Structure formats: C-alpha cells, structure tokens
Structure 1
Amino acid sequence: MNYSVSLLSTINPLFFAALALVGLLLGKAIYTYKAYHDLRGKAIREIVLGSLVLIFIIAAFIVLPVLAGITVNENNLSLRLPSGLTYETIPKEDILSATVINLDEHPEYAIKSKVVGAEIRHYREGIFNLENGIEATAFYDDNTVLLVQTTNRTLLLGPDHFADFVKNFGDQLISVEP
C-alpha cells in the first residue's frame, strides 16, 4: 500500500509570496525587454534567472512532495524521500519496534536541525537531527507519528490516512505499540 502527504498541506503562504515575487520580477523583465531596446540583454538575463527560480520554487513546493511516499507490503517498508536523498527498502527482519507517539508529549523526538530534506510548515521530509542527539529519517505532516526503530536508523513516519497506515504497518510488518 502506498502512502503520501497531501499536496495541499505542503503549500503555504511562503509559496504564494515567492510565486508573486518571481511573477513581479518576470513581469518587470518582460516590460523592460519590450519597452527599452537598449536594455534587452539585461532583460533577457533577468528572464532566464527568473525562470530558473520559478522552476526551483515549483520543484520544492509541488514536485518533491508529490514524489515522496512510503510503501508498505508484507516483506518490506520502502521509503521515497527525494529531497532527503532517501530511496531505500527496509526488510521486515530489520524492523525492531514501532510505536505511535505524539511529538508534543515526547520532545526528545522533536526536530533539532536538518541534515538534508525539506521543512515546510509542519511537513518534514528527509534526514534530521533530533533533540535526543539521534539522526532520524522523517516523513510526516502532523505531531502524531509512527516511531520505527530499525537495525541501522530511526524513522518518524506520519503520512496521510495515518490510522490506515498504522493498521497496515502492524498487519504487514510488525505489531505497533500504542
């Protein structure tokens, strides 16, 4: 079963502010290109740069969250976290424990700093250092997550349809402690 985080939960005011700013700069560059023939070279550079920034914004806020996800089946857990540079499959045998926790009640598992990944509002995807000093792979958009301990890493997972995810995880891989 595939699980992801809704695109609507990752879009925030920063996305719209950046989009408006790039739109304004591109509009100015296009106006300069049309109105001032002697400044066309500068306008072309601004259009190219603005287009590249627009592509980056769309990739960071829309494409990466759509590509990210978790697949649970009876033999393994697969993670696809493009901005966290994580594409791996964890065999069932490597999963040691799974517990549902609320990050507000367990501040030792809160994010301290980002190693590599994306943070947009409550959305976290990638590899992060936790308050307790552990490096963990995270993919969640809420304060309630499934804390999974494996032989070589800690996972904080909280995709959409969390209750179904936890049930499926418990049925397919290892029983989940409440």
Structure 2
Amino acid sequence: MIIAAFDQAVRRIGWAWGEPGSVPVRGLQELPDYGDNTQRLGRYVREWAKNFLKGIGAERAYVENIFVRKHGFNMPVFMKQARVLLTLEDAAELAGLDADLGFWIVDISDWRREEYAGSRPTKGQGSESEAWKSMALAECLRRNWLVEDHNIAEACLIWDYGCKHADKIYKVRAGVTKRRQQSAADEARRAAQ
C-alpha cells in the first residue's frame, strides 16, 4: 500500500510517500505567491497534488490539520492554509483515492504524541515552534532519514503516523521501538535528577 503525507503551509508543501516500513521518498513543493488570491493558489495546489498522487499510485494520503494560534491570529494566512488543506482533499478525490479511507486530516497533537514517544520541547527555552521544528529534524536523523528542511521532516513523520494508522502490523512492530525510546528518555530523566 502506498501512503502519501503532506505537511502543508502557504508557501511550500513538504511531502513523503512509500510503503509502511520503507524509507520514505521525500521532498518539498514550493508554491507560487499569488498574494491574497486563494483561488489561484487552490488551482495550482489541486493540479500539482492530483498529478503527484496519481503519479506515485497513492492509496491513502494524510495531511496535518491547520493549527489555529490563540495569539497572533492572522485571517489572510488562515484562509490560505484552509485553501491548501481543502484543495489537497479535493486533489485526493480527483486522483481516485477512496472517499471513505483515502484521505485523512491528522491533528498535530496526535501525530506528535505518536512520533515523539510523548516527548515535548522544554518550556521557557525560546520559541516552542522552533523547538518542534528542531525535534522533527532530530527524529528523522535518529531514523537515518537525512532531511534538511523541517517541512519535509514533518511530512516524513506524518507519513510514518499514516503508515501506523493504515497498517496494524507495522504499528505493532513500530511500538517496540517506541517503548525502547520512551525507556531511554525515562532513564535520561532519572540520571539528570
């Protein structure tokens, strides 16, 4: 089964795809700047994503949900994010992905909890957003997936989350690694006390 994943933003889309248990093929799609014209942005994303999903033979696609900030909310940026997210869903339908099982919008807290084995950035250590980005790059490096862009790194982790969601055998096998990772983190915390 080919799983695709997207870390969507208004300027670029990180993407990853592959079969559960493989090393994900990954990359970044830059998006043109159409200013506030979300219709043109949607048209571009729809064509690119439809061709991308068809080209790789995707059977399922996972995308991160929009994170609405409590402070510093920006309506024009939110509208662009919403357009990209919903257009990815339209593209999945146009690419022939199953209407019931082919497209999943994943909450950021769900995939992060799964992929970071419960770890979180240290509070009070600067920008929490930047800390999450660094954690994504570090997690991919831990898995020997050399990634230089945080959008790609997050797409890889969303992809892995999607693989676990779609393939229960893969999820059980990955659970062993997760428990080892949690035990190592617990031991490090005990040693630091």
TM-score by structure 2 length? Answer: 0.25
Which is richer in helix?
A: 2
Higher normalized contact order (CA 8 Å, seq sep 6+, divided by chain length):
2
Larger Rg: 1
TM-score by structure 1 length? Answer: 0.27
